[in-house]
Structure 1
Amino acid sequence: MYEKDGEKYFVVDSHSHFWDASRENWKPGAEQFAKGWIDCFYGYHQLAPPETHWDYEHFLKVTPEDFERDMFEEGHVDYAVFQSTYLREWYTDGFNDIKQNAKLLERWGDRLIVNGRFDPRDGEAGLKQLREDAAQFQLKGVKLYTAEWNKGSRGWRLDDPEAHAFFEVCEELGIKNIHAHKGPTIWPLDKDAFSLDDVDHVATDHPDLNFIIEHAGIPRIDDFCYMAVQEPNVYAGLSVVIGALMHARPKFFAKVMGELMFWVGEDKMTFGGDYNIWTPKWQVEGFVDWQMPDDEAFTDYAKLTTASKKKMLGLNAAKLYDIPVPAELQLPTTAGEPMAPGEELVDNTAGARA
């Protein structure tokens, strides 16, 4: 929990990791890709305030003690959601797979949720693994990485016919939260494999699933907003949006938040600190203090209220994941309760023009 000026904020970090990018885990023959990947992440790390920067060796692999301090002791996080990313083409034991993440459940199972993943290119074996993971870890969500390399393939689409069976299994098993990386690319992945063009198709076909589009499609923010406003079960994940832009690109951050507020609305945004690219402390504190600029270029964007920030920082994600929120920290929110087509557009634009 974070408290500022008498206001208390329940914080759910819905996009975090516990990765192993150590040199010992770089896959023989693919070392240049393993190194290039984590080097790109380390470049994103530099977009945070200088006083939060880590040295490279620490960045490669943190300890459970680091995680506890950075997230729960200093980071104001009440609950964290681990997003699994495998990358076994480059990392021998996986970059950030479900079993590695789940080891921390023994210590913080009351504050930590572990998400799985699937890749339709794995076929029947992948469906079997998804069922096994759901049974073992009581999955509430999955992370999808459509640009991941897999046996010579350099990407897939959410609307591929092979993916349909996996979404059906998610519906069957109650895995309702689908986190899809749709935003900045990371070398050596292909930028177009993170295109947003496949999101509305599957969101329409699977209305009982929540599609949390991580990084809100940036830099394709306009494409995302015009798509998300018509899909009641599409949400904007604010990971990278806050971490990469709030400090380093403040004017672009204001534009992105303004467009998201206008089109998507405060009830369909979720905070993600993207640990361990960045720590959550400075992001939570900075976002609570942040306000839309007063200069003329931003006058048609809505100001964020305290209630808006409480929703985005935790309450929306808490509802999506059935996380209990103390009564004194609750606010009314419609996250997870799709409105009638067109209703949100009217509400959001009215709020933006107020």
Structure 2
Amino acid sequence: MFVTPEGERVLVVDGHTHLWDGRPSNWRNDYGRTFIDTFWSGHVGFTPTDKRWSQEQFRYYGAEKAARDLFVDGYCDAAIMLPVDLRDFYKDGFNTTDQCSELKALCPERVVLNGRIDPREGARGLARLESDHDRFGFKGVKLYTGEWNGISRGYRLSDDFVRPYLEKCRELGIDIVHVHKGPTTHPLDYDAFDVRDVDQVATSFPDLKFVVDHCGMPRIDDFCAVAGQEPNVYGGLALVTSFIRARPRHFKAMLIELLWGVGPDRLIFGSDYAITSPDWIIEAFMAFELDDEDTTEAGHALDLEAKRKILGLNAARLYGLDVDALMNLPPVDLPAAEASRHAAE
């Protein structure tokens, strides 16, 4: 957790994390390289110099390092994992449910493991979702509308083949759907992440909650238009918050727009780990303030209460997490080799 200078404890739930394998040995083709290298450019651009990793470590860091970065050094009490396969680019998948389950196994009380779905997989994908849910017990799933699948280079949530998957989620008791709607990554197509298809499914499935990861950026105004009319749409702030250091004026403009359009009760912090780590973002966010003029424009104060909601309470409420239990968990017990390496550093 984060503790303010005044001794106030603040719950932190990182709502957007991964455990990926971007090593050359896993590349199916050169798109495997260009995809992870685009992420790497983001890491270098956003992350403070003294916190940057080597490119080799960035491509593959493993569950033990993730546990340390999130739960030891990163202030996080819990993390929500969002798998995406990308098997057209990676032989064994990029950030699969099985890969992410390694962190869940290491820190079971702190990790929420979501599933992934690709509605283009038809009956086979529905059977896989049911099987994976039997194994892991998902609360949510991730949709990546820009993912390639054979000759398809993306799809829209309004496509007819999406509905059976949302109905299956409802049937299984999975009521949280994360949708990547943000910046593109080479070689994915920009228009595949257009956020304006969210309102149709949000209206059609009012009992499901849709978390629009990255808040549709750079289409923030479109996202706010959708979320403003759909009370079951939430904004995932992963990547948005990363701008707090590199482009603070841009970050402030986006935050004001989001506070005005959505409000502090439906915004969820995320670091997009491991594009960057949560520690410095949380420190900067807790120090960030809006002046009176900005607050008037935003329609909401960014006070400690609002920061508590955004950093952890909103995600805890969405996922049904026990706040008191999370804030009183014992420290993460790292394996001896990892703990020894951490002490040496």
Q: TM-score, normalised by structure 1?
A: 0.89
Q: Could you tell me which amino acid in structure 2 is paired with residue 310 of structure 1?
A: R
Aligned to 1:205: 204
Match of 1:317 among 300, 315, 318: 315
Give the whole-Å Cα distance in 2 for the aligned partners of 1:297 and 1:262. Answer: 11
- The answer (yes or no) to whether the contact 2:110–2:326 under 8 Å persists in 1 is no
- Return the alpha-carbon distance in structure 2 between the equivalents of residues 104 and 7 of structure 1: 29
How far apart in 1 are the matches of 2:8 and 2:231? 30
Alpha-carbon separation, structure 1, partners of 2:173 and 2:282: 30
Deviation at 1:14, TM superposition (A): 1.2
Q: Which residue of 1 aligns with 2:3?
A: 3
Q: Deviation string for 1:37-75 (max 9, x for gaps)? A: 011101111222222211111100002221121011110
Structure 1 range deviating more: 164-173 or 296-305? 296-305
Contact (CA 8 Å) 1:254, 1:293: kept in 2 or not? no
- The residue type equivalent to 1:139 in the other structure is F
Identity %: 45
Cα–Cα, structure 1 residues 82 and 328, in superposed 2: closer, same or farther, change >3 Å? Answer: closer
| Separation in structure 1 between the aligned mates of residue 34 and residue 93 of structure 2, nearest angstrom | 15
8 Å Cα contact 2:235/2:268 also seen in 1: yes
Q: Which residue of 2 aligns with 1:277?
A: 275
State the partner residue of 1:20: 21
Shift of 1:105: 2.3
Query: Aligned partners of 2:208, 2:237: CA distance in 1, in Å?
Result: 19
SS at match of 1:179: strand
User: What corresponds to 1:252 in structure 2?
Assistant: 250
Which stretch has the larger CA shift, 300-309 or 131-140? 300-309
Match of 1:227 in 2: 226
Name the amino acid aligned to 1:312.
I
Matched residue of 1:285: which SS? helix
What residue is the counterpart of 1:104 in the other structure?
A: 103
How does 1:112-123 map onto structure 2 within 5 Å?
Answer: 112-123=111-122
Distance 1:299 1:162 in 2: 43
User: Secondary structure of 1:104's partner?
Assistant: helix
Q: CA deviation at 1:7?
A: 1.5
2:236 & 2:269 partners in 1: Cα distance? 6
Asked if the contact 1:25/1:91 (under 8 Å) is kept, the reply is yes
Map 1:1-354 → 2, pairs under 5 A: 1-5=1-5, 6-27=7-28, 30=29, 32-46=30-44, 47-243=46-242, 245-293=243-291, 300-301=297-298, 302-326=300-324
8 Å contact 2:202–2:210 — kept in the other structure? yes
**Contact 1:255–1:298 at 8 Å: present in 2 too?**
no
> Could you tell me how far apart the structure 2 residues matched to 1:130 and 1:194 are?
23
Which blocks of at least 5 consecutive residues in structure 1 are unaligned? 330-354
Q: Is the Cα contact below 8 Å between 1:291 and 1:303 reproduced in 2?
A: no
Q: CA deviation at 1:328?
A: 11
2:141 counterpart SS class: strand
1:12, 1:298 → 2: CA distance?
Answer: 25
The one-character-per-residue Cα deviations of 1:264-310 (angstroms, maximum 9, x if unpaired) are 0100000111111111111111111111256x677523430100000
Between the aligned partners of 2:36 and 2:291, the Cα distance in structure 1 is 34
Identify the residue that residue 348 of structure 1 maps to in structure 2.
Answer: none
Distance 2:244 2:25 in 1: 34
Which consecutive aligned stretches of 4+ in structure 1 deviate over 4 angstroms post-superposition? 296-299
**Distance in structure 1 (CA, Å) of the matches to 2:301 and 2:47:** 24
Describe the SS at the equivalent of 1:113.
strand
Structure 1: distance between partners of 2:52 and 2:182: 23
RMSD (Å), alpha carbons = 1.5
In structure 2, what is the Cα distance between the partners aligned to 1:18 and 1:297?
37
Secondary structure in 2 matching 1:227: helix
Q: CA deviation at 1:24?
A: 0.7
Does the CA contact (< 8 Å) of 1:273 and 1:280 recur in 2?
A: yes
* Cα distance in structure 2, aligned partners of 1:328 and 1:131: 29
1:339 matched residue in structure 2: none
8 Å contact kept, 2:210–2:234: yes
- Contact 2:196 2:223 (C-alpha < 8 Å) held by counterparts: no
CA distance in structure 2 between the partners assigned to 1:246 and 1:300 by the alignment: 19
CA distance in 2, matches of 1:326, 1:87: 37
Secondary structure at 1:178's aligned position in 2? strand
- Does the Cα contact within 8 Å between 1:180 and 1:214 map onto a contact in 2? yes
1:93-141: CA deviations, max 9, x gaps? 0000001111222221111111111111100000000111111100001
SS at match of 1:277: coil
Q: Aligned letter for 2:263?
A: G
CA distance in 2 between partners of 1:19 and 1:106 (Å): 16
